[in-house]
Amino acid sequence: MNGALPFIAAAALLALALGFLARRGKEMNLEQWTVGGRGFGAVFVFLLLAGEIYTTFTFLGGSGYAYGKGAPAYYILAYGTLAYVLSYFMLPPIWRYAKENRLYSQSDFFVHKYDSQALGVLVALVDIVALIPYLVLQFKGLGIIVEIAGYGAISSTLAIWIGAVIVAAYVMVSGVHGSAWTSVAKDTMIVVFVIFLGLYLPYHYYGGLGPMFEAIEHAKPGFTVLPPHGESLWWFSSTVLLTALGFYMWPHSFGSIYTARSATVIRKNAIVLPLYQLILLFVFFVGFAATLQVPGLTGPNIDLALFKLSVKTFDPWFVGVIGATGVLTALVPGSMILMTAATLIANNLYRAANPSADDRQVSQLAKLLVPVVALVAVFFTLRGGETIVALLLMGYSFVTQLFPSLVLSLARRNIATREGAAAGIIAGVATVVALSLTGTKNFHALSWLPAQVQDLNIGIVALVVNFIVLIVVSLAMRRATAPAQAAAE
Amino acid sequence: MRSIRWLAVVPFLALIVGPFFVNRATPLVLGLPFLLAWIVAWILITSLIMAIIYAADPANREREP
């Protein structure tokens, strides 16, 4: 037993307790369970949407990125901001349509807009393939956090099992209400401790932010600006644009839009969420502070920077408090992913195969699937392996492929047909897979391109292929069906 | 008043095109490297822009149900 463990255990118990309490006074039908009865006000919607920003990826990965690579980490700040600007215009029509048609999932949206069950199945499959590695990432982060912050008293394997059981239990009982309630605890702790760490560590080690960045620039010239090659300006701009478009295509973020009570709630959030992003700035400060204090971490280990520096700086009990915060950053997004994946399987795969299933059956199945999905994720987490890492890198690119057909469907007159949408998504996903399998991360193979243009994010290729196929197939289908319609009239 | 919505284009220009002109470490602004300070400043301005768009948008004057 050491000073850190009680705090980590308390966080886990707090999540469990809040997760169970969230159920009180509600009949847990499918509408309550997955979309909170479409009755959440500004604060809960805010926390669910913000839940997406503060995952273990930002806690460990954001500080690790700043630690290991410096300025390229800034892209995380920029893309979220632009995604929120888009959200103001894009999300209210999605919300309204979902409410009018009583939709539960992102896949439902495609089913209704394109009047095609098959397209819904395709979207659900793309979603699930992207979600499982994302859940694995949360579990993996949880294991790392508990092992380091608990000074090795609890192995990461045990931590992953405990975390998975807790999250599966409260998701089964409370659904999205559990995610919303636990995110209150998570975000409170994030705000307090991340801001503290981001201010204290630079002052403690360097005497302030300015002296810290001067010391870094002195020791590693060019570390705080984008490099001329590799993760350069061209990489930065193309990555910011791509990830901003993909941001709300994650099915669990998309689903949190449905929980809103009104469209105004969503528009209001577009003002506040950019400011809330600034907390990431303090995460970066921690990473920058660590870069000269705990040097030598390389490869995937750069993600340990925050905890290595914390262990070096603070007493065990305070490391425990930071660990507790980290545990919540894994559990809350984990709960949303788990619920979304279970809903997609029950509502969009099972129901597509059994159209006679009613809401009650789908709801029961979704709850039963929660522990199953959690087990699959634990299995992949513990087994590790290259496949899951590859899938993880592909996940964001996968969901981004849903963007063109989604945006076009919001127009008054949709130029995309269901065949076009499906062909575009398949072509985009296939391009992502092909590029990943060949290890193509940029355009460096095309040596005839200007050197800087070669740094563009390769994800652009998949999106362009997707869009072209979508348009061509849609036009071809319209032309093929138009004479038949004319003859019929 | 709908034309005020076009203000939303400005953050995109500032954060996607802007960095090409401000990719430098000095001068430090409030202790931050210049490029980082630029991005942070634009996050603040973006929030302000969204507040202006929100205030001008007649859709937000509907009473909440």
What tens digit of pLDDT does each residue of A222-260 get? 888 888 887 888 888 988 998 899 888 989 888 888 888
Determine, yes or no, domain membership for B16.
no
pLDDT of residue B47: 94
Which residues are within 8 A (CB) of A128 and not within 5 positions of it... i.e. 6 or more apart?
A341, A344, A345
Instruction: List the structure tokens of A324.
Output: 């507790």
Determine, yes or no, domain membership for B29.
yes
Tell me which of 1.20.1730.10, 1.10.10.10, 3.30.2310.20, 1.10.510.10 is the CATH number of domain A5-384. 1.20.1730.10
Task: Say which range, A166-170, A388-392, A442-446, B23-27, has the weakest mean pLDDT.
Answer: A388-392
Q: How far away is chain B from the Cα of A307, in angstroms, using its nearest Cα? A: 23
The H or E element spanning position B4 is: none
Which residues are within 8 A (CB) of B62 and not within 5 positions of it... i.e. 6 or more apart?
A264
| SS3 per residue for A359-402 | HHHHHHHHHHHHHHHHHHHHHHHHHCCHHHHHHHHHHHHHHHCC
Between the CA atoms of A395, A442, A298 and A147, what dihedral angle is there, to the nearest 10 degrees?
0
Chain A partners within 8 Å of B16 (Cβ): 78, 82, 237, 240-241
Structural domain that includes position B52: 1-6+22-65
pLDDT above 60 (res B64):
no
A90 vs A20 pLDDT, higher one: A90
Per domain, the residue ranges of chain A are: 5-384, 401-489
Predicted ipTM beyond 0.85: yes
pLDDT of residue B60: 76
Q: How far away is chain B from the Cα of A259, in angstroms, using its nearest Cα? A: 14
Q: Which chain A residues touch B if contact means CB-CB below 8 Å?
A: 71, 74, 77-78, 81-82, 84-85, 88-89, 92, 208-210, 212-214, 217, 222, 224-226, 233, 236-237, 240-241, 261-265, 267-268, 270-272, 274-275, 277-278, 281, 284
Q: How far away is chain A from the Cα of B3, in angstroms, using its nearest Cα? A: 14
Residue pair A133/A331 in contact by the 8 Å Cβ criterion: no
pLDDT above 60 (res A200):
yes
Instruction: List the structure tokens of B65.
Output: 């149900």
Determine, yes or no, domain membership for B13.
no
pLDDT of residue A487: 54
Chain A partners within 8 Å of B49 (Cβ): 85
pLDDT above 80 (res A352):
yes
A330 SS3 class: helix
What tens digit of pLDDT does each residue of A49-63 get? 776 667 777 778 888
Q: What percent of chain A has pLDDT over 90?
A: 19
Chain A partners within 8 Å of B62 (Cβ): 264
Q: How far away is chain A from the Cα of B47, in angstroms, using its nearest Cα? A: 5
pLDDT above 80 (res A199):
yes
Cα–Cα dist A469/A427, whole Å? 7
pLDDT of residue A298: 79
Residue A266 backbone class (left: φ over 0; alpha: ψ -120 to 50; beta: rest): alpha
The answer, for B1 touching chain A at a CB cutoff of 8 Å, is no
Q: Which residue of A has its CA nearest to B35?
A: A225
The answer, for B35 touching chain A at a CB cutoff of 8 Å, is yes
Residue pair B53/B11 in contact by the 8 Å Cβ criterion: no
pLDDT above 80 (res A139):
yes
Q: How far away is chain B from the Cα of A275, in angstroms, using its nearest Cα? A: 6
Determine, yes or no, domain membership for B15.
no
Chain A partners within 8 Å of B19 (Cβ): 226, 233, 236-237
Determine, yes or no, domain membership for B44.
yes
Whether B60 and A264 lie within 8 Å, measured CB to CB:
yes
Mean of all residue pLDDT scores within chain A = 85
pLDDT of residue B63: 54
A485 vs A289 pLDDT, higher one: A289
pLDDT of residue A473: 92
Whether B16 and A71 lie within 8 Å, measured CB to CB:
no
pLDDT of residue B65: 45
Q: Which residue of A has its CA nearest to B12?
A: A82
pLDDT above 70 (res A394):
yes
What is the number of domains present in chain B?
A: 1
Query: How is B13-62 classified by DSSP, letter by letter?
Result: IIIIITHHHH----S-BTTB-HHHHHHHHHHHHHHHHHHHHHHH-GGGGS
Whether B20 and A84 lie within 8 Å, measured CB to CB:
no
pLDDT above 60 (res A388):
no
What tens digit of pLDDT does each residue of A433-478 get? 888 777 776 677 777 777 777 888 878 888 999 999 999 999 988 8
